[in-house]
Amino acid sequence: MTYLSILLTAILTANFVLSKFLGICPFLGVSKKLNTAVGMSAAVIFVMALSTAVCYPINNYILLPNGLEYLQTIVCILVIAALVQLVEIILKKFMPPLYNALGIYLPLITTNCAVLGVVLLNFTEGYTYLESLVNSVGAGLGFMLAMVIFSGVRSRLESCDVPKFLQGLPIVLIAASIVSLSFMGFTGLVEGLLG
C-alpha cells in the first residue's frame, strides 16, 4: 500500500514538473509535438529508474559508511552522466530501433535537473531501495503525464488568437500555470483514497 501511495503522490499530487518545478526546460522546450514529448518522457523514466538503481547502493554502501555524504552531488551527477553515455552507446550498437525512438533524447537528459533531483530527494526522504525505485518511476510517469497534457494544450494554443503582448513564450508559461492549477485539484487525493 505504501508503494501505491508513493507512486500516486509522485505522479499526481507532488508532480515533478508542475509542483516541484523540476525539469522545466524540457517541459517548455520539447512539448511542442506529442511524439517528441512522449519519446523524451520515456527516456526520462528510463534514466530516472536506472540512475536511482545505481546511485542508491553507491550512496548507502559506499558513501554513508565512510562519512562521505558531502560527495553525494558530485558522485551522483558523474554516475548519471556516465550511465547516459553508456546506455546511448549500447542502444546505438545493439538496439537501433530503440535508439532511434529514445536514444536521441538521452544526451539532453544528463543535465536535466529532474533526474539528479529525484536521486537526491530519494536520499533525503530516507526511502528504502524499492521505495526509491517506485518514487523514481512515479516521478518519471508524472513527467510524462505533464508533458503529454501540455503538448495537447500547446497544439490548441497554436490556433488561438493570442494578444500580441503575450505571444510566444509568455502565453506558454501562462498555459503552464493553468495546467499546474488543475493539478492542485489532486491535493489530498492520495490520502483520501488510501486512508
Partner 1 sequence: MKKIKEYAAPTVVLLVICIVAAFLLAVTNNVTAPKIAEVNAENEAKARLVVFSDAKSFGEESINADGIKLVPALDESGATIGYVVVTVQKGYGGDISVMTGVDLDGGVTGVSILSMSETAGLGANASKDSFLGQFVGKISGITVTKNAPAENEIKALTGATITSNAVTAAVNAAIEAAGGENIG
Partner 2 sequence: MAEKKSLRKEFTKGLISENPVMRLVLGTCPTLAVTTSIVNALGMGVSAMIVLVCSNIVISALRKIIPSKVRIPAYIVIIASFVTIVQMIVKAFVPALDKSLGVFLPLIVVNCIILGRAEAFAGKNGVIASAVDGLGMGVGFTIALCCMGAIREVIGAGTIFAGAESLLSIAGITGFDGFTLIGENSMINPMTIFILAPGGFFTFGILMACANKLAEKKGKPRAELGGCSACPMAKNCALLAKGEECGEKKEEAAV
| Sequence-separated (6 or more) residues with CB below 8 Å from residue 98 | 91
Q: How far is the CB of 175 from partner 2 (least distance, A)?
A: 8
Cβ-based nearer residue to partner 2, 107 or 194:
107
Distance of alpha carbon 143 from alpha carbon 31, whole angstroms: 11
Q: How far is the CB of 195 from partner 2 (least distance, A)?
A: 26
The option from partner 1, partner 2, none interacting with 174 (CB < 5 to 8 A, set by class) reads: partner 2
- Position among 65, 163, 168, 188 found at the interface with partner 1 (CB under 8 A): 188
- Contact of 151 with 33, CB cutoff 8 Å: yes
The H-assigned helical ranges of 10-162 are: 24-29, 34-57, 72-94, 96-101, 106-109, 113-125, 129-158
| Residue 66 sits in the site that holds partner 1 (CB under 8 A) | no
Q: How far is the CB of 1 from partner 2 (least distance, A)?
A: 26
Cβ-based nearer residue to partner 1, 14 or 22:
14
Half-sphere exposure of 144 (CA within 13 A, CB side): 17
What is residue 102's three-state secondary structure? coil
Residue 159 carries which DSSP code?
A: T
| Residue 193 sits in the site that holds partner 1 (CB under 8 A) | no
| Residue 70 sits in the site that holds partner 1 (CB under 8 A) | yes
| Residue 177 sits in the site that holds partner 1 (CB under 8 A) | no
Residue count, binding to partner 1 (CB under 8 A): 12
Pick out residues in 119-158 that bind partner 1 (CB under 8 A).
124-126
Distance of alpha carbon 40 from alpha carbon 27, whole angstroms: 10
What is residue 11's three-state secondary structure? helix
Distance of alpha carbon 18 from alpha carbon 38, whole angstroms: 17
Q: Which residues bind to partner 1, rule: CB under 8 A?
A: 13-14, 19, 70-71, 74, 124-126, 187-188, 191
Q: Which residues bind to partner 2, rule: CB under 8 A?
A: 18-25, 28-30, 32-33, 35-36, 70-74, 77-78, 81-82, 103-108, 110-113, 116-117, 120-121, 124, 165-174, 176-178, 180-181, 183-184
